[in-house]
Amino acid sequence: MINQSAARNMRSEIMSSMESNIDFYLRSFESEMNRIETLKREYLFDDDFQKISNMSHLMPVHERTTAFLRIEKKLELLKNSNLYVKEASVNIPLIGKILYSNRYDEHVMPPETVRALSHNNESPFIYWDERLYISGAYPESNYGDRLPVFLIAVELSKEQIKDSLSSITGVAGGGALLLGHDNSWMLNGESQPELMKAISTETPSFVFDNHGRGQGRVKVGGTSYVLTYGKSSELDVSLLLYYPESQLLQPLTQYTVWMWLLSLFSITVIIGFSYWIFRNIHRPLRHLVRALRRVEKGDLGVQVRHPNRDEFNYVYQQFNAMVDRLSILIHEVYEGQIRNQRAELKQLQSQINPHFLYNSFYALYRLAKAEDMDKVAKITQHLSKYYHFLTRTGMDEVPLEVEMMHAKSYVEIQMVRFGDLVKVSWSEIPGMCRDILVPRMTLQPLIENAFQYGLEELRSDAQLKIDFTRHADWLSITIEDNGDRLSDQKLQELNGLMMAKQVTETTGVINVHSRLRLKFGSTAGLRLSRSGMGGMKVELIIPLQKEG
């Protein structure tokens, strides 16, 4: 922006300087031409010119010769008074001669030349026969085809005008151009035909302001020229200066090149420095962030390496050490949880509900007293299986089908006690889910909870329903009853215990929920809600792995 602003300012200053040159030259040129015009008009009414052109045949020889000499001196004065005058002459048809500043010719100008030079127009200049004149005829008014009595013709030196035009510019490749009325003639300091042709084509479109000035551009042969022109209304001529734009703004062009080189160098440095930052800071940092995200997702086997011995090498080493320590701590915590869950399981297995044991033996007593030996044998068999499963502590996990058979043994023992008061319905385990390994004592504590808190107080029409449902990627086991002792507050308290991270009092339901999440992850566990039958609904969720 600074460079462009400087270019605009410099261009404005150069244009102003060119306009000043045009004004100065035009004023000087007008002054010189006015001097010629003044002398010319004096001579038109001079006595010697009048007598020679009108009464030379009546004058004595001596007087006529003296008049000739005076006229020649006056013409010489006109010639020498101005550098732009090449020759001054007077055409006198009466005596058949053309008088010059230092000689005379014994013939007169051709009529067509006289008519051309005596023609009055807006401009004082007349261009005829490749020559430039300022002329005046006496009388000044034309009367048909009559030729004037005498004609003063001042021929201007085109070489002197061209030299003066060449001295205006002072810039290589530049020049000045003097244009006559309606481009009838053209003088330039440097001969450049193509440029002159282009400028002459552009001149009709010149637009002058109130001060008679204007500016424009023209392109010739791949070179752009700046044009500045001014008009002299007094002489009816236009002066045009042209400069190659590259020459005018050459210093700024050099500065622009240096600025672009500096910008290119700066961009190169920035790119190189950015790559250095990326290679030495951003890429190692991004690698570390990726490793942290893997650790966040639970991948504790990640290790990072850094080839350079710098700060990142130290950070990477500390990260690897931290992951190793974290893995050990998590493993210790996980083992502690497993040991804790095993201890709770052992406690559940070792706890023999005295109420359940009393009810079972009392049922045996009644059956034995009634001599119903088939039922005695049946309940004894179920009790044997039940306590055999409880006291077998070598296995922490069993197939789902074995867990269901243990739960059925518990239900069969309870059915001896409740008889027809409780109606229990089981659905089949989906075929591909029978061999899923689940923690021991998963279903039986939930069914026991339903009997103890939901069905025990009901006197009739008690219902217990156990359903197995296979979904796309998880197995749902639903245990629901129609008990009437579950309040909304109690259900809310139980759900709060299920969501708590630390539980001081562990019940059978909470233990089952914790062990399921420990084995299968955070998506597994229990969901407690109110059953459509009115009691509690416990939904046990087990996620399924792909390919069974």
Domain residue ranges of the chain, discontinuous segments joined by +: 45-156, 165-250, 252-330, 351-543
Q: Let me know: does 4 contact 116? Beta carbons within 8 Å.
A: no
* Spatial distance between the Cα atoms of 410 and 433, rounded to a whole number of angstroms: 22
* Spatial distance between the Cα atoms of 465 and 483, rounded to a whole number of angstroms: 12
Give pLDDT tens digits for 199-233: 777 766 677 777 778 888 888 877 888 888 888 88
* Spatial distance between the Cα atoms of 515 and 338, rounded to a whole number of angstroms: 8
* Spatial distance between the Cα atoms of 354 and 46, rounded to a whole number of angstroms: 161
Q: What is the mean pLDDT of residues 248-268?
A: 82
Give pLDDT tens digits for 136-171: 998 876 656 788 899 999 999 999 998 888 888 766
Listed as own residue / partner, the contacts of 301-307 with beta carbons closer than 8 Å and 24 or more positions apart are: 301/327
Provide the β-strand partners of residue 228. Answer: 215, 241
- Whether the pLDDT of residue 548 is over 50: the answer is no
Give pLDDT tens digits for 14-41: 778 888 888 999 999 999 999 999 999 9
- Whether the pLDDT of residue 547 is over 80: the answer is no
* Spatial distance between the Cα atoms of 76 and 154, rounded to a whole number of angstroms: 11
Over the chain, what is the mean pLDDT? 83
- Whether the pLDDT of residue 345 is over 60: the answer is no
Q: What is the 3-state secondary structure (H, E, C) of 460-487?
A: CCEEEEEEEEECCCEEEEEEEECCCCCC
pLDDT at 351: 53
CA 280 to chain centre: 27
φ and ψ of 265, to 5 deg = -65, -40
Give pLDDT tens digits for 44-59: 999 999 998 888 888 8
Higher pLDDT, 543 or 358: 543
Residue 30: helix, strand or coil by DSSP? Answer: helix
Task: Rank 184-188, 260-264, 349-353, 394-398 by mean pLDDT and report only the highest.
Answer: 260-264
**Superfamily for 351-543?**
Histidine kinase-like ATPase, C-terminal domain (3.30.565.10)
Q: What is the mean pLDDT of residues 441-455?
A: 86
Give pLDDT tens digits for 356-414: 677 777 778 877 888 888 878 888 888 888 777 777 656 778 899 999 998 998 888 88
The pLDDT-based confidence of 271 (bands split at 50, 70, 90) is: very high
What is the pTM (predicted TM-score) of this model? 0.49
Fold of the CATH domain 45-156: Beta-Lactamase (3.30.450)
**Token pair for 36:** 């010629």
Q: Let me know: does 252 contact 175? Beta carbons within 8 Å.
A: no
CB environment 498-529: b (16+ within 10 A), e (fewer): beeeeeeebebbbbbbbbbbbbbeeebbbebe
pLDDT at 348: 54
Burial of 279 from C-beta contacts in 10 A (0-12 / 13-18 / 19+): exposed
> Do 45-156 and 165-250 show the same overall fold?
yes
- Looking up tokens 């079972």 gives 360
Listed as own residue / partner, the contacts of 330-333 with beta carbons closer than 8 Å and 24 or more positions apart are: 330/300
- Whether the pLDDT of residue 129 is over 60: the answer is yes
Assigned CATH class of 165-250: alpha beta
**Token pair for 227:** 């044009």
